[in-house]
Amino acid sequence: MKVGITGAAGLVGSTTAFYLAVQDLVEEIVLIDINEKLLLAHTWDMEQAVMDVSHTRITSGGLEALAGCGLVIHCASVNESNAKSRDECLDQNCAILRSIAQAVAAWCPQAILITAANPVDVLNYVFYRETGFPRERVIGFSRNDTLRLRWAISKREGIPMESVDAISIGEHGFATVPLFSRILVDGRPHPYDSAAQEEIRGAIVNYYTNYQNLRTGRSSGWTTAVSLVQVCRKILLDDPAPVPCSVVLQGEYQLEGLSLGVPVRLGSGGLREILEVPMDAGERAGFLAAAQKTKDHIRHLLGE
């Protein structure tokens, strides 16, 4: 398969391209970005870096180079280094996405799309509307919230991350909803009181702001790259194991007209199944609040 990555000169795009390339899972990765010199530098460097460990070809080009792609990972974004929340870049990132959506629809109309620009849930729905693709082929990347929930629990308990089974759904952002009622440690239920829940949730929802406050000028490139490629593997290897993603809801969870993070099964055709998980009353309220926030942003962008 040929995979296209937009925003490939940026941190998330370039790290994702490199990590996907070393997996030796695809025939070609085409890198696309408006920063032509940095894009070419990444292309040369990456091409040489993987030549002894992978058969994947690394190429670059303009949007027309998306022709023939079976998978497109959209990472193109404005610089978020001074943003306090993922929502601050909404209008600018939507403008970028709309131009990419037109190119995708024109050059690779059968591709599966993965949205990895923020705010993911809102932009994923706009991608769905702008391309006219079926929802099965428009998937938003939101796995990091679940990863950080497991990380926060493992840090608090002093246990390996692999011992923790947990998921966070809803918005990829401040309105994420950790499902504390479903947390397992070593396969057994692990309840938390309200104070502990707030501590753990704070570690997740404040992560973006705390990271930005370091003022390093970068985002969480390695984390996102590894998690993004895990999602890609589900598609490329037709692996139905559940994974959290933002997908367009059409009645699931009694919601429609938006994209939101939920557990799903993916496969070679994209979205295979949406899994509806039980929630307690507090979790359900948080999930509905995330849905309303996302819908409000969508109405702002689409004028509906």
The response to whether 7 counts as a known ligand-binding position is yes
Q: Is the peptide bond before 119 cis (omega within 30 degrees of 0)?
A: yes
- Please name the residue that has the structure tokens 């404040």: 206
The response to whether 121 counts as a known ligand-binding position is no
- Please name the residue that has the structure tokens 């990863």: 147
Rounded CA gap, 292 and 289, in Å?
5
Rounded CA gap, 195 and 96, in Å?
41
The response to whether 257 counts as a known ligand-binding position is no
Q: Return the ∠ at Cα 12 (arms to 166 and 247), rounded to 5°.
A: 50
Q: Which helix (H) or strand (E) holds 178?
A: strand 176-178
Q: Are 266 and 245 in contact (CB under 8 A)?
A: yes
The response to whether 158 counts as a known ligand-binding position is no
Active site residue 74: no
CA nearest neighbour of 6 among 25, 28, 26, 30? 30
Rounded CA gap, 7 and 19, in Å?
15
Rounded CA gap, 21 and 300, in Å?
38
The response to whether 258 counts as a known ligand-binding position is no
In one-letter notation, the amino acid at residue 33 is D
The response to whether 49 counts as a known ligand-binding position is no
The response to whether 10 counts as a known ligand-binding position is yes
**Interacting residues of 96 by C-beta distance below 8 A, sequence separation 6+:** 76, 77, 78, 117
The response to whether 144 counts as a known ligand-binding position is no
The response to whether 210 counts as a known ligand-binding position is no
Which residue out of 42, 74, 172, 297 is catalytically annotated?
Answer: 172
Known binding residues for NAD(+): 7-13, 33, 93
Binding residues: 7-13, 33, 93
Where in the sequence numbering do the catalytic residues fall? Answer: 172
